[in-house]
Amino acid sequence: MGLTPLEGLIMGTRCGDIDPTVVEYIAQCANKSLEEVMKILNHESGLKGICGDNEKHRSQKRKRR
């Protein structure tokens, strides 16, 4: 792990490595504060952001259907 839990590969709710300017871009485009963007990147991203769920086995079952 690096300075924050966001570093590395995509996880259940974390985005993984991203370009640092993405934080500012999201804040400006979505009219969000830095705190709101950091919450999104730490708790609403990753598999949850892509699949709507951070439980890998449920996402895999949906894909098989």
Short-list 60, 56, 59, 54, CA closest to 14: 54
pLDDT for res 63: 66
Short-list 22, 60, 63, CA closest to 41: 22
Question: What average pLDDT does the segment 19-33 reach?
Answer: 93
Number of domains in the chain: 1
- Which tens digits make up the pLDDT trace of 46-58? 888 888 877 766 6
What separation, in Å, do the N-terminal and C-terminal C-alpha atoms of the chain show? 35
Structural domain including 38 reads 1-65
pLDDT for res 25: 94
30 vs 56: which has the higher pLDDT: 30
Q: Is residue 4 predicted with pLDDT exceeding 70?
A: yes
